[in-house]
Chains A and B, each alone.
Chain A
Amino acid sequence: MVPLGDDYRYLVYALIGYPSMVLGFVCLAPLAVLGAERFLAPLLAPLLRIDRRFLAAQLSGNLWRTIGTTVALTVGLGLYVSTQTWGYSMLKPFTPGDWLPDMIVGFPSGLSDDQLMAVRKTPGVAADQCLPMVVEQPKLASDLLGAEKVFSAVRQDNVLLVGVDPEQAFGGEHPLFHMDFKEGSPADAVARLKQGRQCIVPDHFVKYSGLGVGDRFAVLPPDNPDQPVEYTIAGVVTLPGWHWMSKLSGMRSQGGRSGAMIFANFDQVRSDFNLQKTRFLWLNTDGAASKEQLQASFQAIAETSVPPGRPPAGPEQAVRITATEDVRSAIRNRADGMIWGMSQLPLITLGVTSLGVINTVLASIRARRWEMGVLRAIGTTRFGLFRLIIAEAILIGIVACLLSFVFGVAAGWCSTGVTQYVVSSAGWMLPWSSRGSKSA
């Protein structure tokens, strides 16, 4: 990769890369028109019951006007395709992935060993797929992720440290987490995590910090920030959707955003951060109970720790279930609405430019009136002529679709790559208020 600052990288793309790509696709338009006429017109002709020879030069006979209309249509449709591709590609890392178990259950008052056993025996809970965890959100000892230099959702000054039983979480034939290891392996990571201060980090943490397997970093326990603790990276995984799962489940004990979700040994995290109680469980269900039934059962278990005579737990002490599928569908529904909202302007553009199709078809008819008169004279029906003209318009539409697809996917994909540099920048701000006060 060429060494460039983030702002310059975005500017080079906006001023050189993107316009060059647009120019390239405009230059490809004649080829697309001729290709469609050569290969697609013979397929369209039988569908409309037209002799394929009639469509052999339908577009190329009026080539430049056809290209103009096709490019005009491609402006709207290409933007629509690129917006959709960009939107859904950007959404993927934030959508809870298949690595996640069915739900996170938060017990604000914490769980005793007896209560944990009761949870495991609750109807609807897969007993061997119920993982207690301790969670802390310590600050990094140094600015590993570059939070002080650039603003980004995942470049923060703290991480989310999740302590779990390594064997149950990642080991054996049926681990709770089915993670995609980018560096290291599950077996190796489990062995290392059992040794103590070792951890599994997400790939973006490695990318921004420049660390790798075997490297160490330090975090500051919130209760004892003068005594940093060091963890060694034992594996690198992808964790799509960890942001929303951690946010909605209330795992971020210190509040705000976090730079990464990092997994370590349960006992090690508990002792390093003085976490006495297990407040979260990550579990799979067996389908025998609904979410509401599980909520009621878990709440009843949580309230067994309340001494007799004490008032019942308030809303802040209520058990919180964060179901992966609920989060997934909520994100998708919200994203569908947002991406569709962004796509409306390109569709309006497409509607306006489709008027150009009328112009092109009229010009084509005007140029072929003699030819059409002869066709009618030798027996072509009125409907046959009708179909011939419709076929030309549809061919123009097909060429626009082909060009828009290739352009839209390429532009959307490139924009996805560049977006990480856009959000990294501090953003431009026009100081309207100060301008106003000075001019006043």
Chain B
Amino acid sequence: MDAPLVIPWKQIGLGFGITLMLCFVAALWPAFTTGRTEPLTLLQLGR
């Protein structure tokens, strides 16, 4: 049986949403802690 190409947009959109959410969540803690770091500390650590 020859099957036509079917792209399940809804399901794929769900997968993309999960991926973007995971990326967002993964970056939350590093972003939060970096945001709270004092500028001077960032400069000293980055020398």
Please, could you name 28 A-B residue pairs with CB atoms under 8 Å apart, sorted by A?
A: A73-B19, A77-B15, A77-B16, A81-B15, A84-B15, A85-B6, A85-B8, A88-B6, A93-B3, A203-B2, A204-B1, A354-B19, A354-B25, A357-B23, A361-B26, A369-B42, A369-B45, A370-B47, A372-B42, A376-B39, A386-B34, A389-B31, A389-B34, A394-B23, A398-B20, A400-B19, A409-B7, A420-B1
Interface membership of chain A positions 88-132, coded 1 if the CB is closer than 8 angstroms to chain B and 0 otherwise? 111111100000000000000000000000000000000000000
A396-415 interface (Cβ within 8 A of B): 396-398, 400-401, 404-405, 408-409, 413
Cα of A7 to Cα of B27 in the assembled complex, Å: 46
Q: 10 closest Cβ contacts across the A-B interface?
A: A370-B46, A373-B42, A393-B27, A369-B46, A397-B23, A373-B43, A376-B39, A389-B31, A354-B22, A357-B26
Closest residue of chain A to B22, judged by CB?
Answer: A354
A358 at the interface (CB under 8 A from B): yes
- Point out the residue from A355, A365, A408 that lies within 8 Å of B34, measured CB to CB: A365
| B23–A393 CB distance below 8 A | yes
A435 at the interface (CB under 8 A from B): no
A383 at the interface (CB under 8 A from B): yes
Which residues on A sit within 8 Å (CB–CB) of B19? 73, 77, 350, 354, 397, 400-401, 404
| A93–B35 CB distance below 8 A | no
Cα of A392 to Cα of B32 in the assembled complex, Å: 14
Cα of A362 to Cα of B26 in the assembled complex, Å: 10
- Point out the residue from B3, B11, B25, B29 that lies within 8 Å of A416, measured CB to CB: B3
A36 at the interface (CB under 8 A from B): no
| A390–B4 CB distance below 8 A | no
Interface membership of chain A positions 47-70, coded 1 if the CB is closer than 8 angstroms to chain B and 0 otherwise? 000000000000000000000000
- Chain B count of residues within 8 A CB distance of the other chain: 39
Closest residue of chain B to A391, judged by CB?
Answer: B27
| A354–B4 CB distance below 8 A | no
Cα of A84 to Cα of B1 in the assembled complex, Å: 19
A23 at the interface (CB under 8 A from B): no
| B22–A377 CB distance below 8 A | no
Cα of A354 to Cα of B24 in the assembled complex, Å: 10
Closest residue of chain B to A396, judged by CB?
Answer: B23
Which residues on B sit within 8 Å (CB–CB) of A77? 15-16, 19
A382 at the interface (CB under 8 A from B): yes
Name the prevailing secondary structure of the B interface residues.
Answer: helix
| A84–B39 CB distance below 8 A | no
Most B-side CB within 10 Å, residue of A369, A387, A417: A369
| B34–A91 CB distance below 8 A | no
Closest residue of chain B to A413, judged by CB?
Answer: B5
Compute the total of residue contacts between A and B using a CB distance below 8 Å: 157
Residues of chain B whose beta carbon lies under 8 Å from any beta carbon of chain A: 1-8, 11-12, 15-16, 18-20, 22-32, 34-36, 38-47
- Chain A count of residues within 8 A CB distance of the other chain: 64
- Starting from the known contacts A84-B8, A373-B42, A373-B43, 19 additional A-B residue pairs (CB-CB under 8 Å) come to A89-B6, A92-B4, A93-B3, A343-B11, A355-B26, A369-B42, A369-B43, A376-B38, A376-B39, A386-B31, A389-B30, A393-B24, A393-B31, A394-B27, A397-B22, A398-B20, A400-B23, A401-B16, A401-B20
Which residues on B sit within 8 Å (CB–CB) of A87? 8
Closest residue of chain B to A397, judged by CB?
Answer: B23
Given A77-B19, A347-B15, A397-B20, A386:B46 Cβ within 8 A: no
Cα of A177 to Cα of B41 in the assembled complex, Å: 76
Q: How far apart are B16's CB and chain A's nearest CB, in angstroms?
A: 5
| B1–A357 CB distance below 8 A | no
Cα of A358 to Cα of B23 in the assembled complex, Å: 8
Which residues on B sit within 8 Å (CB–CB) of A408? 12
Which residues on B sit within 8 Å (CB–CB) of A343? 11, 15
Cα of A385 to Cα of B32 in the assembled complex, Å: 9
Which residues on B sit within 8 Å (CB–CB) of A85? 5-8, 12
Q: How far apart are B27's CB and chain A's nearest CB, in angstroms?
A: 3
